[in-house]
Chain A
């Protein structure tokens, strides 16, 4: 019966490229039609009808699965469908799909089998290619996401490190960024005398941030640094277990107990190692690209930290200069209140050509100095520092404002690179009967100071004299004035009266007017009022250094 059905369908199936087979369990013979033989790469009649021959065509990689399926269906009967590779006698690999039925007899064993087979190589190849594309597309997406995330992280870190020139702040930022989602903890260690490493644990929780030096004490941090230096950082980079040993043994008290892996990257800038960046995880290991990310961040961090160090040095230089030009704080002078307004036009480095000084005299009074070096910036600042110390020394030695100016003039004339300097020096004498004091005013080409009377009168003190560094035979008048309790003297640089509004100058009349409104205030309030008036009066930015010093004789009681 079976044999009859095959020829009926034969030509139709052959046209469709479908081969037909039958199996007789009793004799264990397999019959293939010509198309089936063609599909298996055989000549017509080339199949010997044995099960062994059929099995030998199945691709070794698929054989186990196919035989397991056939064995199962052979025992229980039923329908099956299978797709697998075959190997032709010439070695060509093809994909076939087979569908068949095994019928069982009354004894439960297989009685006969039949089915079809067809070549699906083209379809299977396409499917495989599609699957592969899917896999590689997914991988590509994964890897581009990882790249994107790495880039985002580096940008985020760069942003956090941009701007600040303060070492502490940078250390904190770096540790915060590293523990945002990169690492579970981070230690930044700079090779400074003080261990200023920063340990940050627990992402996004500022409360858990703390100095490494607090976690294990400064000695633990120094100890850890020594160990890090002894261990060759580079050689251990790829072997987290080496570091694991190091931290539990040697970094005790600094690194959290449960550590699964640590990475250390040296911080190098301008060809020298300035410190190290250590990051660790408590769970899981690092991805392979992690080190590159860490290196990128470490490079940026090292440059930022190095710049902060440079700035610190420069800023310290500027501070030294400024301390030479002006007192860091106004001294306490018994019975005299002081106020100062000091605003250098060069802002960031806080240096200008204006100088002032106040120091008590042994007699119980004080010496007041305001000066202005022609020029601006660092060069002017250097001369201003020189002028201030020369004036202070001379005033202390001579006790006379006019003579002090003379000494500075001679000093300047001996210096071929001298600038021109204007200055006013006032000696406020000791308190006399009733609290009044006598002040002696000498001026060298400087705007004349103002006497501010308690009753509201404000007048210029007519002291005149030659600009310094200019004339070998200068003359400085000494003008004595009496300051009663509540009276004040105001000395100022030309920057105050020469503040501009278009073509107009602020001028001394406006200055007097501004002081009049605060006549009974403390000197600090008086100078602030002048500053406020200047800023309100003009819509233009400040162009020149400004200094104003006010000394007021305290009222008894």
Chain B
């Protein structure tokens, strides 16, 4: 079994970033010719390359433009890999593939799509930006055996939850995967998903087994879950307050946008009772601070003051981040 080396991942990523589609797809096809299965190439080359692209952009090595170019090339490469799949039969089971509501990263679903095709599954792919209600309608219309929900960022997990509910309410099991779910099944379980796939290879096996799934029910019996509902309802009011606090003479235009994102991450951390979700995004903004010029502690302070007094769990979470953002003073 041929391995996909880190060197190959770098070469592929360079080609994609340079808008060299022929070179990129040649490298991917070569990995397949050398003996790796398409699913393995999707996992070890395409997914890893996506991670690398994200890092290069986050660290300022690449521009947004380069990131977009790489993604566009990669989606063509994924299409090429999908075309290598054996033809489907009339009776190939159908699987519906969708991103979390509000998750516009198209690469995840495209990869899932290709992998399922290679496992003899017909896939119904929802357009990007589909809402949960739309997905429910399609499930009723087409009756897929299973719904696969991908989520690329933890802050978008509430949108994944809405998709899981849409599937299960329509009597269809929902399997989840993607970077947003982290590295174990904890978040998937909290959301009440029927299964969690660590990667695209695992997903195929999981989908095979969905026939035997029973419907789990997410309990959401921790105080944060109730606060999530309030926060979602009050999002507009909180945003207005955050803006009032952040807008000043020397305001950086991205500050409110960043605070709104942290608000989403906070909401997700409440729904899943997982403070790591907020911490991860705070760390990301902190890492990007040299490029964006944003003061993360200023964002957090604004968010803290904008939150309604009744949201005690939310306030505690943000306060913990404020303290974490300030380096220890060493008892000075």
Kindly list chain B residues whose C-beta atoms are within 8 Å of the C-beta of A521. Answer: 68, 72
**A347-B134 in contact (CB<8A):** yes
In-complex Cβ contact of B106 among A315, A504, A528 (8 A): A528
Nearest A residue to B64 via CB reads A517
Q: How far, in whole Å, are A9 and B41 apart by their CA atoms in the complex? A: 103
Cβ < 8 Å to A, chain B residues 113-149: 128-129, 131-134, 136-137, 139-143, 145
Kindly list chain B residues whose C-beta atoms are within 8 Å of the C-beta of A169. Answer: 143, 145, 171-172
In the assembled complex, the CB of A308 is this many whole angstroms from the nearest CB of chain B, namely: 8
Total interface residues in chain B, CB < 8 Å: 43
**A347-B104 in contact (CB<8A):** no
Kindly list chain B residues whose C-beta atoms are within 8 Å of the C-beta of A346. Answer: 133
Kindly list chain A residues whose C-beta atoms are within 8 Å of the C-beta of B326. Answer: none
Is B168 part of the binding interface, using a Cβ–Cβ cutoff of 8 Å?
Answer: yes
In the assembled complex, the CB of B276 is this many whole angstroms from the nearest CB of chain A, namely: 20
Q: How far, in whole Å, are A165 and B260 apart by their CA atoms in the complex? A: 37
Kindly list chain B residues whose C-beta atoms are within 8 Å of the C-beta of A522. Answer: 72
Interface-located stretch among B9-17, B219-227, B237-245, B277-285? B237-245
**B172-A501 in contact (CB<8A):** no
Contacts known (A166-B142, A503-B240, A539-B267); A206 close to B128, Cβ less than 8 A: no
Contacts known (A165-B170, A169-B172); A531 close to B133, Cβ less than 8 A: no
In-complex Cβ contact of A163 among B128, B170, B260 (8 A): B170
Contacts known (A501-B239, A537-B260); A528 close to B137, Cβ less than 8 A: no
Is A538 part of the binding interface, using a Cβ–Cβ cutoff of 8 Å?
Answer: yes
Is B51 part of the binding interface, using a Cβ–Cβ cutoff of 8 Å?
Answer: no
In the assembled complex, the CB of A557 is this many whole angstroms from the nearest CB of chain B, namely: 15
Q: How far, in whole Å, are A502 and B236 apart by their CA atoms in the complex? A: 4
**A163-B172 in contact (CB<8A):** yes
Q: Is the interface of B mostly helix, strand, loop or mixed?
A: helix
In-complex Cβ contact of B263 among A164, A168, A539 (8 A): A539
Is A131 part of the binding interface, using a Cβ–Cβ cutoff of 8 Å?
Answer: no
Nearest B residue to A163 via CB reads B171
In the assembled complex, the CB of B332 is this many whole angstroms from the nearest CB of chain A, namely: 38
Nearest A residue to B214 via CB reads A159
Q: How far, in whole Å, are A347 and B170 apart by their CA atoms in the complex? A: 14
Is A438 part of the binding interface, using a Cβ–Cβ cutoff of 8 Å?
Answer: no
**B140-A315 in contact (CB<8A):** yes
**B64-A502 in contact (CB<8A):** no
Is B320 part of the binding interface, using a Cβ–Cβ cutoff of 8 Å?
Answer: no
In-complex Cβ contact of B235 among A347, A504, A539 (8 A): A539
Is B215 part of the binding interface, using a Cβ–Cβ cutoff of 8 Å?
Answer: yes
Contacts known (A173-B171, A528-B104); A347 close to B240, Cβ less than 8 A: no
**B260-A501 in contact (CB<8A):** yes
Q: How far, in whole Å, are A531 and B137 apart by their CA atoms in the complex? A: 21
**B172-A164 in contact (CB<8A):** yes
Cβ < 8 Å to A, chain B residues 233-287: 235-240, 243, 257, 260-261, 263-264, 267
Kindly list chain A residues whose C-beta atoms are within 8 Å of the C-beta of B235. Answer: 502, 538-540
Is A349 part of the binding interface, using a Cβ–Cβ cutoff of 8 Å?
Answer: yes
Q: How far, in whole Å, are A500 and B240 apart by their CA atoms in the complex? A: 11
Using a CB–CB cutoff of 8 Å, the interface residues on chain A facing chain B are 159-169, 173, 176, 204, 206, 308, 311, 315, 341, 343, 346-350, 500-504, 517-518, 520-522, 525, 528-529, 531-532, 535-542
Using a CB–CB cutoff of 8 Å, the interface residues on chain B facing chain A are 64-65, 68, 72, 102, 104, 106, 128-129, 131-134, 136-137, 139-143, 145, 168-172, 211-212, 215, 232, 235-240, 243, 257, 260-261, 263-264, 267
